[in-house]
């Protein structure tokens, strides 16, 4: 009994020392990471982790607009290869839309059309859309407006020339480690720290902005903070008013925050469903026009879905890009293989949500091509 008591005291002492060291070395956010991720059996953020964090609600539209259902809805079953990939990669939702009508949808692992799951970095496309809206409203002058107009601390050094367009197109030159599995990367810190704005505003540019592409989540977070300054509204409220409401979203969405009543993790983490995520694909396919109403300037959309840099053809402003089998494709993409894929030439939108993605292939992973190929096999039957 004495041994057990002594061992317990030593264990408590060791834990106290570890916790103290975490605070001393300013990595105390790891306590949150362990509690919310690792204790849930994961080694990285996961689809349902929004339940572990504080969130801001984006209310469903007061005038919901259900997607039209095609006459041949779900007539063709998923191909064998598609089902195999769904099983192997933990797909929870797969949605195919053609000519603005749902042709096929499948759900797995207890999910359905109303189930929420984490968007991860698909949220970056939503933030870029919010930038377009703020420019359209005159709240932000243009893509060339300086970040330092909103945050004067960026007036010094290389950051002095950084623009909101640089943030949207991943060309800020900021010092950021885009590592999702390292517990000590700034990306991990941003996910778990309860003072996200402080983390972001501590950033400095180490390369000249506006010269080249480098994917950094910190860019989108800083962009969101600029939009909030420009509009005087929380980003969740701004997106709700200007997109979720007029797009006719059928379900509430949740946007993770760094703390209770804090700022949203703008670079990630909108919890919603396949049908409502797909609305942004349709909006951009129609160059910002939603059922006759221009929500974003068409010129902004056109600029967003073409490469900014010749040597980085995979990215525009907030959207991933590819030319596959002679067809231009743009898409929203998130950690673990969240996709809203748009092929404008054929008026096709494909949404895939799930727990894993293929680790092969850069800058476009192998599963991206499988979702397209197999969806087209179904459409062509």
Residues 12 and 55 both lie in one domain: no
Residue 44, domain member (yes or no): no
Domain presence at residue 112: yes
Q: Answer yes or no: are the C-beta atoms of 277 and 332 closer than 8 Å.
A: yes
* Beta-bridge partner residues of 342: 330, 349
CA distance 93 to 124: 20
**Residue 302 falls inside a structural domain:** yes
Going by C-alpha positions, the residue among 53, 63, 141, 66 that lies closest to residue 102 is: 66
CA atoms of 197 and 186, how far apart (whole Å): 13
Q: What does 312-347 look like in DSSP terms, one character per residue? A: -TTBSSSSEEEEETTEEEEEEEETTTEEEEEEGGGT
Assess whether 30 and 54 both reside in one domain. Answer: no
Verify cis geometry, omega within 30 degrees of 0, for the bond prior to 363: yes
Using CA atoms, how far apart are residues 4 and 7, in angstroms rounded to an integer?
A: 5
| Count of the separate structural domains present in the chain | 2
- Kindly state whether residues 26 and 103 are assigned to the same domain: no
d(CA 295, CA 359): 36
> 87-137 pLDDT, tens per residue?
999 999 999 999 999 999 999 999 999 999 999 999 999 999 999 999 999
Kindly give the confidence (pLDDT) of every residue in the chain, 381 residues in length, as a single tens digit, with 9 standing for 90 and above: 555 555 444 444 444 434 343 344 445 566 665 666 655 666 678 899 999 999 999 999 999 999 999 999 999 999 999 999 999 999 999 999 999 999 999 999 999 999 999 999 999 999 999 999 999 999 999 999 999 999 999 999 999 999 999 999 999 999 998 877 777 788 888 888 899 999 999 999 999 999 999 999 999 999 999 999 999 999 999 999 999 999 999 999 999 999 999 999 999 999 999 999 999 999 999 999 999 999 999 999 999 999 999 999 999 999 999 999 999 999 999 999 999 999 999 999 999 999 999 888 899 999 999 999 999 999 998
Q: Rg for the chain (alpha carbons), in Å?
A: 21
Same domain, 31 and 58: no
**Which tokens sit at 32?**
């949150």
Return the closest-CA partner of residue 379 out of 87, 86, 77: 77
Q: Are residues 282 and 370 in the same domain?
A: yes
User: 3-class SS at 96?
Assistant: strand
Judge if 19 and 55 occupy the same domain: no
Residue ranges of alpha helices (H) inside the chain are: 2-24, 29-36, 80-89, 123-136, 164-168, 186-192, 196-201, 217-231, 235-239, 274-285, 298-304, 366-379
- How many whole angstroms separate alpha carbon 20 and alpha carbon 16? 6
Q: Could you tell me if 131 and 166 are in contact, meaning their C-beta atoms sit under 8 angstroms apart?
A: no
pTM: 0.91
Tell me, yes or no, whether 179 and 303 share the same domain.
Answer: yes
Distances in Å between the Cα of 33 and the Cα atoms of 13, 260, 330, 338 are: 21, 17, 33, 22
Are residues 8 and 127 located together in one domain of the fold? no
Whether residues 327 and 349 share a domain: the answer is yes
Residue 324 lies in a domain: yes
Note whether 211 and 238 are same-domain residues.
yes
Q: How far is CA 269 from CA 72, 123, 171, 204, in A?
A: 34, 7, 22, 24
Answer yes or no: are the C-beta atoms of 315 and 170 closer than 8 Å: yes
- Does residue 174 lie within any of the structural domains? yes
In a domain, residue 143? The reply is yes
CATH number at residue 324: 3.40.710.10
| pLDDT digits 0-9 by tens, 16-70 | 434 343 344 445 566 665 666 655 666 678 899 999 999 999 999 999 999 999 9
Q: Is residue 9 part of a domain?
A: yes
368: in domain:
yes
Same domain, 308 and 337: yes
Q: Are residues 151 and 268 in the same domain?
A: yes
Domain hosting 90: range is 49-379
């Amino acid at each position: 009994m004495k041994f057990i008591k002594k061992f317990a005291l030593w264990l408590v002492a060791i834990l106290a020392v570890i916790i103290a060291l975490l605070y001393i070395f300013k990595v105390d956010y790891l306590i949150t990471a362990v509690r919310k991720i690792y204790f849930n059996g994961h080694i990285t953020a996961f689809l349902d982790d929004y339940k572990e964090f504080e969130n801001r609600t984006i209310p469903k539209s007061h005038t919901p607009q259900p997607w039209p259902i095609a006459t041949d809805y779900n007539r063709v079953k998923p191909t064998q290869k598609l089902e195999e990939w769904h099983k192997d990669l933990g797909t929870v939702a797969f949605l195919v839309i053609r000519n603005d009508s749902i042709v096929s949808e499948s759900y797995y692992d207890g999910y359905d059309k109303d189930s929420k799951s984490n968007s991860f970095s698909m949220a970056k496309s939503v933030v870029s859309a919010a930038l377009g809206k703020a420019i359209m409203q005159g709240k932000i002058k243009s893509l060339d407006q300086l970040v330092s107009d909103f945050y004067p601390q960026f007036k010094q050094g290389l950051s002095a020339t950084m623009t909101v367009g640089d943030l949207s197109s991943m060309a800020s030159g900021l010092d950021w480690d885009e590592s999702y599995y390292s517990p000590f990367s700034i990306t991990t810190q941003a996910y778990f720290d309860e003072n996200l704005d402080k983390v972001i505003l501590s950033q400095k540019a180490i390369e000249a902005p506006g010269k080249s592409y480098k994917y950094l989540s910190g860019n989108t977070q800083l962009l969101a903070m600029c939009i909030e300054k420009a509009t005087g509204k929380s980003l969740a409220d701004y997106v709700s008013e200007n997109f979720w409401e007029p797009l006719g979203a059928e379900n509430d969405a949740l946007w993770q925050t760094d703390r209770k009543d804090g700022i949203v993790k703008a670079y990630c983490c909108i919890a919603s469903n396949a049908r409502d995520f797909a609305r942004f694909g349709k909006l951009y396919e129609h160059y910002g026009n939603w059922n006759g109403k221009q929500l974003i300037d068409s010129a902004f959309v056109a600029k967003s879905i073409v490469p900014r840099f010749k040597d980085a053809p995979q990215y525009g402003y907030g959207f991933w890009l590819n030319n596959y089998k002679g067809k231009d494709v743009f898409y929203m993409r998130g950690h673990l293989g969240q996709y809203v894929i748009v092929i404008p030439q054929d008026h096709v939108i494909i949404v895939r949500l799930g727990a894993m993605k293929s680790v092969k292939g850069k800058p476009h992973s192998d599963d991206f091509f499988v979702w397209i190929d197999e969806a087209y096999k179904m459409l062509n039957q």
